[in-house]
């Protein structure tokens, strides 16, 4: 019995969400009295993988196959399944990302495992049951789910658990091969296109988010949102009406039918707070609402609020952040 | 080309979520159910591709009890040719995937489409499970889908970008915007939907692998602290010193 953690890497580094996953997996292993091994995908340097020891990982398996740098659902599933068999892993932990969740669902069938996605807390293992808490109803509720199989797969929601840092601890990096062939990569992308990110902060991974709604009056005013986001090191986002009229790209749309985020800070500018939007943001740790309408429903879901004109308030906030830095 | 579009019956997006007093079940009282919004992309795109090819069929599949039939008829009104309902309450993603895989195998479908996830249970699981059960590729979540012969070109969303993926039929894709503009039924569609075939079949397979022990609502906020607009800069100090988030 052991815990296997799937670690996603990009540009040679372990993604932040995967550091959280590594830490989560190590804590589950400690709960169950076993160790946590990681399997890396996406191509990281050996030094970066060794530093997963800081998260409590004892061993990292690394397959040097160059094609694993890009996502292939078939190849990743085979790689992780092979590693799980070798390590006799009964619990597999991944990020609830577009990679982790996609692979997790295939793996659950191949390994005959129970799967829970969008998990927000460590499991409860007392009383002979294995119970995880996960987000449901698009952020409007949670469900506690009993995973009944001998094998369990858990996809952990981003920014819902803290990555630990026991400085200086090193994991052993072990070379590993799943003997992947050409056929395994049949579903690999032929091309990968990355977006231009304002300030380089990706919304799904962001700890701070500045978001704009219809109250911004038009795409030409987004500079005010971007200025504050840049000063804070935040990602930018928007409400559904804004992406529907193409003021902003759809991948910035936060809400029930867009993406759900759970940053430490969500600043909503000129967003009234429809129930579908709140569903996408209500697991944010701190919510700030700026709206000229004191009756905007978003204020009821906020921690801090400013009743005022976003066009006057935003420059003041940006100036205050610059002063503080 | 035979399309199979899987639709789920979910609470309307404006629904305020509540549970039964023991927190064991979603409280359906007074709730309007709709076709899962993500599934609408799958349905409309399948109809568009069939129309563009000038041949083929679009079959709608739902795993649910009889109360889902109004939304199945709605899918037929939007333009699907026929429908299948697996007569069972959906227990979990694995159970639903088993039903879809069985129908897909039996009917020899070329393209199996569904929404990226359902907005009620948010599993983002069924597509991968179906693909694995059938031993065919899965592309999830797909933002764009084009077909040329039996080769499909898809755009798959990744954090911070997209991948272009080419696969041959049969395959599974889970769909999201901006794949197409979801259609709404017109009067002629509503009239013809009444007589389109809707087959009801019993469930198959193994029992569910997960069970919900209890639901919970998110904790309520303590109340908003208002900062006067003229002192907006004070907010930043509070975020640094009190909330400690920046």
Interchain CB contact of A150 with B (< 8 Å): no
What pLDDT, on the 0 to 100 scale, is given for residue A60?
97
What pLDDT, on the 0 to 100 scale, is given for residue A127?
83
Residues 21-40 of A with CB under 8 A from B: none
pLDDT in tens, A200-243: 688 888 899 999 999 999 999 999 999 999 999 999 999 999 99
Longest dimension (CA), chain B: 68
Q: What are all long-range contacts of B46-50, with beta carbons under 8 Å and residues at least 24 apart?
A: B46/B3, B46/B5, B46/B80, B46/B111, B46/B113, B47/B78, B47/B79, B47/B80, B47/B183, B48/B180, B49/B1, B49/B3, B49/B111, B49/B145, B49/B147, B50/B1, B50/B3
What pLDDT, on the 0 to 100 scale, is given for residue A168?
87
Residue of A nearest to B220 (CA): A301
User: How crowded is residue B111: how many other Cβ atoms within 10 Å of its Cβ?
Assistant: 25
Nearest to A104, CA basis, from A77, A85, A82: A77
Query: Could you give the CA distance from residue B242 to residue B224 in angstroms, rounded to a whole number?
Result: 14
Beta carbons of B138 and A73 less than 8 Å apart: yes
Q: Where are the domains of chain B?
A: 2-218
Fold of B2-218: Rossmann fold (3.40.50)
What pLDDT, on the 0 to 100 scale, is given for residue A57?
97
Cis amide linkage into residue A222, ω under 30° from 0:
no
What percentage of chain A exceeds 70 in pLDDT? Answer: 98
Phi and psi at residue B206, in whole multiples of 5°? -85, 165
B84 versus A126: the higher-pLDDT residue is B84
What pLDDT, on the 0 to 100 scale, is given for residue A167?
85
User: A114 to chain B nearest CA, in Å?
Assistant: 5
User: How crowded is residue A19: how many other Cβ atoms within 10 Å of its Cβ?
Assistant: 22
Query: Could you give the CA distance from residue A52 to residue A182 in angstroms, rounded to a whole number?
Result: 30
Confidence band, pLDDT 50/70/90 cuts, at residue A18: very high
pLDDT in tens, A180-204: 999 999 999 988 988 765 556 888 8
Interface test with A, best of B122, B155, B164, B207 (most A CBs within 10 A): B122
DSSP B170: S
Residue B122: its chain A contacts at CB < 8 A?
A: 117-118, 135-138
pLDDT in tens, B9-38: 999 999 999 999 999 999 999 999 999 999
Of the candidates A146, A288, A321, the beta carbon closest to that of B210 is on A146
pLDDT in tens, A61-116: 999 999 999 999 999 999 999 999 999 999 999 999 999 999 999 999 999 999 99
Interchain CB contact of A301 with B (< 8 Å): yes
What pLDDT, on the 0 to 100 scale, is given for residue B121?
87
Residue of A nearest to B38 (CA): A257
Residue A227: its chain B contacts at CB < 8 A?
A: none
Beta carbons of B122 and A186 less than 8 Å apart: no
Residues 216-245 of A with CB under 8 A from B: 232
Beta carbons of A304 and B243 less than 8 Å apart: yes
| B225-226 and B138-148 beta bridge pairing | unpaired
pLDDT in tens, A133-144: 999 998 889 999
Instruction: Compute the average pLDDT of residues A274-290.
Output: 94
What pLDDT, on the 0 to 100 scale, is given for residue A198?
52
Domains of chain A: 2-185 (3.40.50.620), 198-324 (3.40.50.1220)
Phi and psi at residue B126, in whole multiples of 5°? -60, -45
- HSE of B121, CA atoms in CB hemisphere, 13 A: 23
Confidence band, pLDDT 50/70/90 cuts, at residue A162: confident
Query: Could you give the CA distance from residue A26 to residue A33 in angstroms, rounded to a whole number?
Result: 10
Instruction: Compute the average pLDDT of residues A145-162.
Output: 92
A274 annotated as belonging to a binding site for a ligand: yes
User: A264 to chain B nearest CA, in Å?
Assistant: 6
What pLDDT, on the 0 to 100 scale, is given for residue A199?
58
| B9-11 and B33-35 beta bridge pairing | antiparallel
Of the candidates A186, A190, A194, the beta carbon closest to that of B164 is on A190
Interchain CB contact of A109 with B (< 8 Å): yes
| ipTM of the shown complex | 0.94
Residues of chain B with pLDDT under 50: none
């Amino acid at each position: 019995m052991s815990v296997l953690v799937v670690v996603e890497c990009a540009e040679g580094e372990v993604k932040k969400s995967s550091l959280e996953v590594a830490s989560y997996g190590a804590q589950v292993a400690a709960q169950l009295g076993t160790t946590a091994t990681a399997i890396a995908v996406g191509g990281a340097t050996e030094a970066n993988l060794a530093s997963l020891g800081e998260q409590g990982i004892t061993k990292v398996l690394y397959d040097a196959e160059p094609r694993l740098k890009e996502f292939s659902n078939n190849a990743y599933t085979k790689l992780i399944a092979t590693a799980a068999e070798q390590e006799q892993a009964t619990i597999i932990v991944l990020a609830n990302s577009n990679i982790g969740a996609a692979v997790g669902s295939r793996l659950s069938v191949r390994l005959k495992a129970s799967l829970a996605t969008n998990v927000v807390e460590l499991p409860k293992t007392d009383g002979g049951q294995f119970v995880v808490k996960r987000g449901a109803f698009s952020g409007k509720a949670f469900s506690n789910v009993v995973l009944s199989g001998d094998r369990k797969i858990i996809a952990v929601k981003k920014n819902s658990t803290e990555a630990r840092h026991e400085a200086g601890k090193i994991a052993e990096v072990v070379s590993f091969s799943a003997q992947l062939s050409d056929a395994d990569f049949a579903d690999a992308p032929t091309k990968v296109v990355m977006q231009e990110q304002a300030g380089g902060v990706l919304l799904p991974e962001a700890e701070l988010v500045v978001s704009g709604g219809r109250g911004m009056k038009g795409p030409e005013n987004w500079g005010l949102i971007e200025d504050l986001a840049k000063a804070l090191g935040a990602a930018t986002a928007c409400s559904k009406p804004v992406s529907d009229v193409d003021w902003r790209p759809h991948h910035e749309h936060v809400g029930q039918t867009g993406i759900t985020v759970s940053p430490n800070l969500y600043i909503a500018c000129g967003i009234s707070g429809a129930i579908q939007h709140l569903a996408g943001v209500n697991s944010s740790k701190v919510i700030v609402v700026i709206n000229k309408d004191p009756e905007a429903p978003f204020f009821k879901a906020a921690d801090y609020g400013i009743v005022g004109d976003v066009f006057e308030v935003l420059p003041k906030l940006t100036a205050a952040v610059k002063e503080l830095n | 080309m035979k399309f199979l579009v899987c639709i789920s019956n979910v609470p309307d997006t404006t629904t305020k979520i509540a549970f039964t007093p023991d927190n064991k079940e979603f409280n359906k009282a007074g709730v309007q159910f709709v076709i899962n919004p993500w599934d609408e992309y799958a349905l409309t795109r399948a109809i568009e591709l069939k129309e563009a090819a000038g041949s083929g069929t679009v079959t709608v599949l739902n795993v649910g009890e009889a109360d889902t039939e109004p939304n199945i008829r709605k899918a037929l009104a939007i333009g699907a040719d026929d429908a299948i309902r697996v007569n069972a309450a959906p227990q979990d993603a694995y159970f639903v995937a088993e039903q879809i895989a069985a129908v897909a195998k039996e009917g020899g479908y070329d393209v199996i489409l569904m929404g990226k996830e359902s907005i009620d249970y948010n599993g983002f699981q069924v597509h991968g499970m179906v693909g694995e059960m059938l031993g065919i590729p899965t592309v999830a979540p797909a933002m764009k889908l084009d077909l040329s012969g039996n080769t499909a070109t898809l755009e798959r969303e990744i954090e911070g970008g997209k991948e272009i993926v080419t696969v041959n039929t049969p395959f599974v894709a889970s769909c999201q915007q901006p794949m197409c503009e979801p259609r709404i039924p017109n009067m002629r569609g509503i009239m013809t939907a009444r007589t389109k075939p809707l087959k009801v079949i019993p469930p198959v397979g193994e029992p569910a692998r997960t069970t919900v022990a209890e639901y919970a609502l998110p904790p309520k906020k303590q109340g908003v602290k208002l900062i006067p607009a003229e002192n907006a800069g004070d907010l930043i100090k509070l975020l640094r010193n009190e909330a400690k988030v920046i």
